[in-house]
Amino acid sequence: MIAEPRLVEVRKNVLKKNDICARTLRDRFQAAGVLVISLVSSPGSGKTAFLEKTLTCLRKDYRVAALVGDLATENDALRLARSQAPVKQITTGTLCHLEAAMVETALGDWDLSQLDFLFIENVGNLVCPSSYDLGEAVRLVLISVTEGEDKPLKYPTIFNSADVAVITKIDLAKAVEFDWTAAAASIQAVRPGMEVFKVSAKSGEGMEDFTKFVSARLTQMRAVPAV
């Protein structure tokens, strides 16, 4: 006799493991007083150039470090090392995104209390990283002026998961006839109220506004006593 199929309730989030790991990391970052900022974007939108410039600017007054995810090469880590900040590469192989456990492993024996800022550069991908919490305090999504103003509408999930948008390569805006109004509208459509920075890592334009913003966020975070 064949038994009747029975329904059993499970109710489990499949990303629970990642979420728990991310929460542990977030508590650790908060306790150490380090502001963790992650970067997501499509490949080639200038994450590494922006990060190199950011590290160089912030290093004058703060202790900074970076973790950088890449599929196969260590080129980004080598580039970022030029900023003199400690940099570690996370090579993901064929994996299209970073997960919290990879961040935890990569941190290794770094003494987080010796840092003010830690940047995590995700793999260039506007789809997969959106589902994975890395324990960051601020998630930046980058879009370059060469990509088209409707990118946020094409990838609403990742733009909605981010806290701040950074428009990069603005030194090229004129040449590509970048439509600022359309870009702002598409960002606000998928993430109302999102703060937007406009930068050029090449000329340095807009970098000061951005570093002021992260400095303010650091002060704000440290004003909240660690639990």
Partner 1 sequence: MHELSIAMSIVDLAQEEAARRGAKVTAVHFKLGALAGVVKTALMSSYEMACEDTLLQGSQLIVEEIPVMVYCSRCQMRRPLSSIQLFCCAECGTPTSEVVQGKELEVVTLEIEE
Binding site for partner 1 (CB under 8 A): 2-3, 5-15, 17, 95-97, 127-128, 130-131, 153, 156-158, 160-161, 188-194
Query: Residues 165, 141: contact at Cβ < 8 Å?
Result: yes
Query: Residues 128, 96: contact at Cβ < 8 Å?
Result: yes
Phi, psi of 187 (to 5 degrees): -65, -45
Q: How far is the CB of 213 from partner 1 (least distance, A)?
A: 18
Q: How far is the CB of 153 from partner 1 (least distance, A)?
A: 5
First-to-last CA distance in the chain? 58
CB nearer to partner 1: pick between 3 and 223: 3
- Give the C-alpha separation, 67 to 77, whole Å: 8
In eight-state DSSP terms, residue 5 is: P
Q: How far is the CB of 149 from partner 1 (least distance, A)?
A: 13
- Give the C-alpha separation, 78 to 18, whole Å: 28
CB nearer to partner 1: pick between 128 and 172: 128
CB nearer to partner 1: pick between 50 and 159: 159
Q: How far is the CB of 161 from partner 1 (least distance, A)?
A: 8
Residue written as tokens 């009747």?
4
Q: How far is the CB of 122 from partner 1 (least distance, A)?
A: 12
CB nearer to partner 1: pick between 6 and 60: 6
CB nearer to partner 1: pick between 5 and 225: 5
CB nearer to partner 1: pick between 165 and 218: 165
Q: How far is the CB of 193 from partner 1 (least distance, A)?
A: 6
Residue 138 pairs in a beta bridge with 37
- Give the C-alpha separation, 216 to 213, whole Å: 5
- Give the C-alpha separation, 38 to 174, whole Å: 28
